[in-house]
Amino acid sequence: MASQFKNNSITKRDENFAQWYTDVCKKAELMDYSSVKGFINYLPYGYAIWEEIQKYLNKRFKEVGSHNVYLPMVIPESLFNKEKEHVEGFAPETLVATYGGGKELEEPLIIRPTSEILFSDMYKRMISSYRDLPKVFNQWCSVVRWEKTTRPFLRGSEFLWQEGHCLFETQEEAEENALKVLEIYDDLGRDVLAVPFVKGRKTEREKFAGANATYSIEALMHDGQALQSGTTHDLGQGFAEAFGISFQGRQGKLEIPYQTSWGVSTRLLGAIIMVHGDDNGLVLPPAVAPIQVVIIPIKMQEPGVLEACKDIYEKLKAEGVRVELDDDDNKTPGWKFSQYEMKGVPLRIELGPKDLSLGVATLAKRVDGSKTTEKIEDIVKRIPSLLEEIHIDMYKKAVDFLEHHITEVHSIEELKAAIEKGGYAKAVWCGDEECELKVKELTNGATSRCMPFEQVVFDDKCPICGKKAKHVVYFARAY
């Protein structure tokens, strides 16, 4: 792809994080602002990262018996209004179609903000006996939520995601499904994105509209703010009851099934950028990098240089490595170095006449800029392990950062200080929504991110109200 961005200077990350983020999104050619206000164009480089995430999840979702489907992008208003909490949660941010084929529609159509409604409506027709269960369907699509302020990948009027919607015979199976998919998301972070998550259960206040329980994975950005990166919902029987879904159970009685839903979105691209990126731009984990290795010939007019580069290129390609050779002679090697750094390519191979005469090439890791010299003949077999090393380096760095930004707090003052420092304040809590609101007020916006699964209530009293502490909660400012 030819680059439409000629100038690589970006805002320094620690000077203005928000501007740095936008600069990286644009200069790395991940996206482009469209002429439709609040909507973005996902460019090839950004979309290819999403496609790698899709491949991984499609494989893993098979473990929970999932099948892909596609349901309509619009929901009739009357259907949308069936589940009370749900409609209250989503109605304020919907886009609504009112004209079709030149005429006013008999009933307005809501552009889907999420598809619990349509799946429930379909399942009603599909389920009659316990033999028809479980149903585990997933859909890759875009959804629309009418947002006032938008940011690329983080908050947009339209974003890409997957949404799983499942029905089970028992509460236990539903719970197991919600937790298993959360584990898959967590694995995606650890093994693919090199992003460690804090995971747990959302408080009543923060859970999904219409759910019994919401579980989430939360990533920590370089600026100390959390990013909710994926959620799974135990929906209980609420939607099923609202939509009249029932089945004949094993004992012959009519029963109501238990439902779950779960999703991750292109927000994950935001997490990758803000966890790994630096002043030189994007830093991509090898597993999702559209280009894992770039080969840059030095003085490529000199005899043998281009041939040697091409040879490495062909061999790496044959091994399934996503490799590019940049032999554009209109650009200097220096220009190319900074260009591929901006694009976060994990590994760069430099090869010039001197190297060639010594039978070596230079390998530079994007994550820390470290360079090593390798024999040309060893390069092809070294690359897979090098990419793995890079992944481990990136993950370790992110884990270190996360661990240094979880502060156990025992008072309001400590909580406030922890939030000011950035990252999570780990506190005990009485369970009252009022105390969550109080924290938000006192910290200028920190919210409860989740209650971790391992609950060791380390203080007796809620630091906010002094009542008996019941839970451990992570508080943080969040995107």
- Write out the residues near a second copy by the rule CB under 8 A: 1-2, 4, 32, 34-36, 39-44, 47-48, 51, 67-76, 79, 91-102, 108-109, 111, 118, 121-122, 125-128, 131-133, 137, 141-142, 144, 146-148, 157-158, 160, 330
Angle CA 233–237–242, to nearest 5: 110
CA 374, 380, 385, 386 torsion: positive or negative? Answer: positive
Of residues 104, 105, 108, the one with CA closest to residue 79: 108
Rounded to whole angstroms, the Cα distance separating 360 from 357 reads 8
Minimum CB–partner distance for residue 183 and a second copy (Å): 23
CB of 69 or CB of 380, closer to a second copy: 69
Minimum CB–partner distance for residue 177 and a second copy (Å): 16
DSSP 207-237: S-TT-SEEEEEEEE-TTS-EEEEEEEEEEET
CA distance readout (Å), 389 to 213, 221, 332, 382 = 38, 22, 29, 11
Of residues 152, 129, 113, 112, the one with CA closest to residue 23: 152
As a residue count, the chain comes to 479
Minimum CB–partner distance for residue 39 and a second copy (Å): 4
Minimum CB–partner distance for residue 458 and a second copy (Å): 42
CB of 133 or CB of 347, closer to a second copy: 133
CB of 146 or CB of 401, closer to a second copy: 146
Helix (H) or strand (E) run with residue 261 in it: strand 258-265
CB of 181 or CB of 439, closer to a second copy: 181
CB of 336 or CB of 405, closer to a second copy: 336
CB of 160 or CB of 181, closer to a second copy: 160
CB of 247 or CB of 262, closer to a second copy: 247
Within 10 A of 125 (CB to CB), how many other CB atoms are there? 8
Rounded to 10 degrees, the C-alpha dihedral 443/444/449/451 comes to 30
Minimum CB–partner distance for residue 33 and a second copy (Å): 9
CB of 34 or CB of 370, closer to a second copy: 34
CB of 48 or CB of 256, closer to a second copy: 48
Residue 145, SS3 per DSSP: coil
Minimum CB–partner distance for residue 108 and a second copy (Å): 8
Minimum CB–partner distance for residue 142 and a second copy (Å): 6
CB 233 within 8 A of CB 260: yes
Q: Which residues contact residue 400 at a Cβ distance below 8 angstroms, ignoring those fewer than 6 apart?
A: none
Minimum CB–partner distance for residue 359 and a second copy (Å): 33
Minimum CB–partner distance for residue 150 and a second copy (Å): 12
Of residues 29, 58, 34, 33, the one with CA closest to residue 46: 29
CB 416 within 8 A of CB 443: yes
Minimum CB–partner distance for residue 70 and a second copy (Å): 4
Residue 431 amino acid letter: G
Residue 141, SS3 per DSSP: strand
Radius of gyration of the chain (CA): 25
Rounded to whole angstroms, the Cα distance separating 85 from 464 reads 28
CB of 42 or CB of 475, closer to a second copy: 42
